[in-house]
């Protein structure tokens, strides 16, 4: 850093313009394809603006009415924003709790010099693989495998575990569990690798001296590993939450966009997506987006804080 | 006495090793099982699939492949071509321009340098769906739906890739090198293209892979923008499988289509798994 400052004293006059030239493409594209649409989204959220058949209604300024609608009991008898936020949170938790427990355990196994696990590269390769699978194809696969005439029902019947096919895709509990299972499979490998890197970043001498002091492995975990891993753990945890808020492909394709049964698996982005379909309800979709943005901004600021405290 | 303690410790270690390996094998099994079922089912005819469950592949792989490739409703060759085009162009643009931007804020000193850098970090976490409403509105307004380039160009501004490139530059590029090239009389663009880019090859390779995989799998935006069959990408086609009348399908063909959808990424992964797994950590955790 010191060096670049010295350079700048001599050279900044002749080269500064190149800095601007090199960042122009990024900012031109950012403003046209991201920032402007974002501002338009926020702007829309204060307008009545949708399509009804062939007619376009609006745009008429309605103030905060779209936001009020999101928090008003609808025809089906629930408050949409609350219901879908809860759905999203529940679906995330079902996948994330086992994800973090398993990933933490695996990270400890892989880094333990005492256990000295062989074939780590193989195991890591296998458990990370589902992360790269096309989520929509993965969901379609689960739909085919768990359908009433699908292989899983056939297998369970052949094994004698059940005598009648289970309607996995028609029950609230099983649909949510399947979505949780898919999210778990897609993300636990990724989390394991990140937590592992975090543990490996801890000074080996600390573990060594704790061992010489006769600490048990549980003591080492709670007194050394976990406190020092905390910034990275929080980072991974909150990014997982931010990813959870954006959950879409898996429940969308698994339930054909309907969030069956009875909208119990409709997530926030699925709700947003419904407004962008035939009805082109830019007003309501805008309001949902703004709320999404606020939730994410709060979570992101926690991430930044944790990263900065990790630097100290 | 001491021997006994050693022995019991040894047995304890042995037991915990067995438990750990059992857990690892179980989880690996879980990760592979569903995909193995998909593979097995892609080798069976529709009649065989109705007949019952099996883990043994059958002989209809090539028949299913032929049927899936020539399907009347879902034109998977065209889908794969579209997806490939979007994915490879996005990967090239996102890595090149992120590297360029990172180089711009790292090597040059200008008034807004620090603000620019912090601004890009701040927008990194905003989910892409937040701009979707305005994006879709504009796409319809200017009749740009069903244009594949609309999925490609936005990848030029990728804050996360920028962040990665910037960190890589900080760690690997000595500023003296840029100085020396200037003394040799190279202009700034040539220095970047001919000296800096080669140094950044490893970072570019990793980010190209992740970007390629990301856009190959991307479903949200393409599903809102593409409705003509000739421009649909693979995930949009796979999703239409779900919404079509399911009972009429030849299921062997359906499994084959899913296999085709994930196969390109799987091949890349099998070849490059080592560097991909390394890339997971270097990309996201600072430090």
Q: What is the pLDDT of residues A156-211, one digit of tens each?
A: 998 888 989 999 999 999 999 999 999 999 999 999 999 999 999 888 888 888 88
Please provide residue B184's backbone torsions phi and psi, each rounded to the nearest 5 degrees.
-70, -10
What whole-number distance in Å separates Cα of residue A235 and Cα of residue A307? 7
The residue segments making up the domain with residue B201 are: 72-244
Mean local confidence (pLDDT), B114-123: 90
Mean local confidence (pLDDT), B31-58: 90
Residues B33, B82, single domain; the answer is no
What are A135-165's pLDDT values in tens digits? 999 999 999 999 988 899 999 998 888 989 9
Residues B80, B175, single domain; the answer is yes
C-alpha separations of B198 from B88, B91, B209 in Å:
19, 17, 17
Q: What is the pLDDT of residue B283?
A: 55
Does the distance separating the beta carbons of A194 and B284 come in below 8 Å?
yes
Of A162, A150, A143, A147, the closest CA to residue B51 belongs to: A150
Residues B161, B56, single domain; the answer is no
Give B213's pLDDT tier (boundaries 50, 70, 90): very high
Q: What is the pLDDT of residue B247?
A: 64
Residue B249 Rama label (left phi>0; alpha psi -120 to 50; beta): beta
Q: What is the pLDDT of residue B246?
A: 65
Give rounded-to-5 percent helix, strand, coil for chain A: 70, 5, 25
Does the distance separating the beta carbons of A127 and B28 come in below 8 Å?
yes
Q: What is the pLDDT of residue B1?
A: 54
Whether B259 is covered by a domain: the verdict is no
Q: What is the pLDDT of residue A309?
A: 63
What whole-number distance in Å separates Cα of residue A270 and Cα of residue A254? 12
Mean local confidence (pLDDT), B146-166: 94
Mean local confidence (pLDDT), B77-98: 97
Residue B287 pLDDT exceeds 60: no
Does the distance separating the beta carbons of B134 and A8 come in below 8 Å?
no
Lookup: tokens for A294: 């606020």
Length of chain B: 287
The residue of B50, B108, B120, B215 whose CB has the most chain A CBs within 10 angstroms, and thus the best one to mutate to test that interface, is B108
Give the end of a domain, one of B63, B83, B115: B63
Lookup: tokens for A77: 């008898």
* Least confident span in A99-103, B213-217, B277-281: B277-281
Whether B273 is covered by a domain: the verdict is no
The total domain count for chain B is 2
Lookup: tokens for B136: 């879709």
Does the distance separating the beta carbons of B108 and A269 come in below 8 Å?
no
Q: What are B8-17's contacts with CB under 8 Å, separation 24+?
A: B13/A114, B13/A115, B16/A115, B17/A115
Whether B39 is covered by a domain: the verdict is yes
CA distance A261 to chain B (A): 16
Residues B41, B109, single domain; the answer is no
Q: What rounded mean pLDDT belongs to chain B?
A: 90
Residue segments in chain A with a per-residue pLDDT below the cut of 50: 1-3, 5, 8-13, 311-312
What whole-number distance in Å separates Cα of residue A45 and Cα of residue A62? 9
What are B179-209's pLDDT values in tens digits? 888 888 888 899 999 999 999 999 999 999 9
Nearest CB among B123, B134, B287 relative to A41 is that of B134
Contact residues, chain B, for A137 at CB < 8 Å: 234-235, 238, 258, 261-262
* CATH class label, A80-275: mainly alpha
Q: Tell the residue number behind the tokens 């089912």, with chain if given.
A: B41
Contact residues, chain B, for A99 at CB < 8 Å: none
Instruction: Report pTM.
Output: 0.91
Cβ neighbors of A288 (< 8 A, separation 6 or more) are A70, A81, A268, A271, A272, A275
Residue B241 pLDDT exceeds 80: yes
> What's A133's DSSP letter?
S
| Minimal-distance CA residue of chain B relative to A23 | B101
CA distance B84 to chain A (A): 14
C-alpha separations of A232 from A147, A149, A221, A224, A310 in Å:
40, 44, 15, 14, 8
Residue B6 pLDDT exceeds 90: no
Residues B82, B163, single domain; the answer is yes
Whether B21 is covered by a domain: the verdict is yes
Lookup: tokens for B276: 């991909």
| Minimal-distance CA residue of chain B relative to A43 | B134
Residues B37, B153, single domain; the answer is no
Q: Where are the domains of chain A?
A: 80-275
ipTM of the complex: 0.91
3-state DSSP assignment of residue A58? strand
Nearest CB among B101, B280, B287 relative to A310 is that of B287
Residues B41, B79, single domain; the answer is no
Contact residues, chain B, for A110 at CB < 8 Å: none
The number of helix segments (H) and strand segments (E) in chain B equals 15, 0
Residues B172, B37, single domain; the answer is no
Residues B49, B104, single domain; the answer is no
Q: What is the pLDDT of residue A307?
A: 67
What whole-number distance in Å separates Cα of residue B251 and Cα of residue B255? 6
| Minimal-distance CA residue of chain A relative to B119 | A27
Residue B286 pLDDT exceeds 50: no
Contact residues, chain B, for A109 at CB < 8 Å: 20, 23-24
Residues B12, B107, single domain; the answer is no
Residues B83, B208, single domain; the answer is yes
Residues B25, B78, single domain; the answer is no
Q: Is B149 within 8 Å of B225 (Cβ atoms)?
A: no
What whole-number distance in Å separates Cα of residue B35 and Cα of residue B165? 34
Q: What is the pLDDT of residue B281?
A: 80
Contact residues, chain A, for B223 at CB < 8 Å: 273
Whether B116 is covered by a domain: the verdict is yes
Q: Is A276 within 8 Å of B137 (Cβ atoms)?
A: no
Whether B160 is covered by a domain: the verdict is yes
CATH number of the domain within which B137 lies: 1.10.3720.10
What whole-number distance in Å separates Cα of residue B207 and Cα of residue A96? 26
CA angle (A133, A134, A138) in 5-degree steps = 80
Q: Is B204 within 8 Å of B95 (Cβ atoms)?
A: yes
Q: Which residues of B44-82 are buried (b: 16+ CB within 10 A; e: fewer)?
A: bbbebbeeebbeeebebbeebbebbeebeebbbebbbeb
What whole-number distance in Å separates Cα of residue B165 and Cα of residue B108? 15
Q: Is A80 within 8 Å of A285 (Cβ atoms)?
A: no
Nearest CB among A23, A145, A248 relative to B105 is that of A23
Q: What is the pLDDT of residue A9?
A: 47
Cα dihedral A244, A142, A134, B150 sign: negative
Residue B149 pLDDT exceeds 60: yes
């Amino acid at each position: 850093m010191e060096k670049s400052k010295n350079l700048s004293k001599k050279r900044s006059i002749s080269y500064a313009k190149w800095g601007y030239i090199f960042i122009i493409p990024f900012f031109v594209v950012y403003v046209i394809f991201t920032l402007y649409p974002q501002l338009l989204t926020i702007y829309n959220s204060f307008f009545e603006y949708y399509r009804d058949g062939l007619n376009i209604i609006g745009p008429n300024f309605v103030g905060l009415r779209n936001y009020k609608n999101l928090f008003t009991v609808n025809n089906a008898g629930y408050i949409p924003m609350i219901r879908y936020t809860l759905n999203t949170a529940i679906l995330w938790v079902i996948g994330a709790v086992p994800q973090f427990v398993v990933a933490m355990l695996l990270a400890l196994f892989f880094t333990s010099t005492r256990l000295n696990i062989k074939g780590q590269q193989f195991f890591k390769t296998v458990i990370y693989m589902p992360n790269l699978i096309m989520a929509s194809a993965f969901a379609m696969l689960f739909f085919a495998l768990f359908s009433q005439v699908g292989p899983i029902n056939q297998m369970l019947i052949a094994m004698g575990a059940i005598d009648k096919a289970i309607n996995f895709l028609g029950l609230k509990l099983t649909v949510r569990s399947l979505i949780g299972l898919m999210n778990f499979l897609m993300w636990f490998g990724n989390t394991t690798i990140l937590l592992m890197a975090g543990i490996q970043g801890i000074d080996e001498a600390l573990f060594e001296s704790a061992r010489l002091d006769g600490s048990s492995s549980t003591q080492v975990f709670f007194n050394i590993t976990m406190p020092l891993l905390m910034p990275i753990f929080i980072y991974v945890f909150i990014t997982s939450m931010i990813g959870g808020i954006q959950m879409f492909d898996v429940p969308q394709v698994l339930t054909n966009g309907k969030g069956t049964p009875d909208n119990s698996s409709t997530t926030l982005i699925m709700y947003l997506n419904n407004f962008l379909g035939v009805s082109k309800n830019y007003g309501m979709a805008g309001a949902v987006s703004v709320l999404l943005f606020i939730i994410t901004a709060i979570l992101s600021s926690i991430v930044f804080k944790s990263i900065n405290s990790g630097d100290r | 006495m001491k021997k006994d303690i050693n022995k019991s410790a040894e047995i304890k270690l042995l037991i915990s090793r067995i438990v750990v390996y059992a857990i690892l094998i179980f989880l690996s099994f879980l990760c592979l099982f569903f995909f193995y079922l998909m593979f097995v089912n892609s080798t069976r005819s529709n009649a065989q699939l109705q007949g019952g469950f099996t883990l043994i592949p059958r002989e209809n792989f090539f028949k299913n492949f032929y049927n899936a490739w020539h399907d009347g409703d879902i034109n998977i060759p065209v889908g794969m071509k579209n997806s490939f085009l979007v994915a490879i162009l996005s990967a090239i643009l996102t890595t090149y321009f992120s590297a360029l931007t990172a180089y711009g804020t790292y090597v040059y000193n200008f008034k807004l340098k620090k603000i620019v850098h912090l601004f890009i970090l701040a927008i990194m976490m905003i989910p892409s769906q937040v701009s979707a409403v305005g994006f879709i509105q504009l796409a319809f307004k200017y009749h740009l739906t069903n244009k594949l380039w609309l999925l490609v160009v936005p990848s030029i501004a990728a804050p996360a890739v920028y962040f990665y490139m910037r960190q890589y530059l900080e760690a690997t590029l000595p500023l003296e090198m840029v100085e020396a090239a200037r003394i040799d009389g190279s202009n700034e663009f040539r220095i970047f293209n001919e000296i800096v880019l080669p140094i950044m090859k490893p970072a570019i390779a990793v980010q190209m892979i992740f970007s390629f995989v990301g856009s190959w799998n991307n479903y949200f935006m393409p599903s809102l923008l593409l409705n003509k069959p000739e421009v649909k990408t693979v995930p949009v086609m796979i999703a239409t499988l779900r919404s079509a009348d399911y009972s009429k399908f030849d299921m062997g063909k359906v499994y084959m289509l899913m296999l085709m959808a994930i196969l390109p990424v799987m091949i890349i992964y099998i070849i490059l798994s080592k560097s991909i797994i390394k890339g997971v950590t270097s990309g996201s955790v600072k430090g």
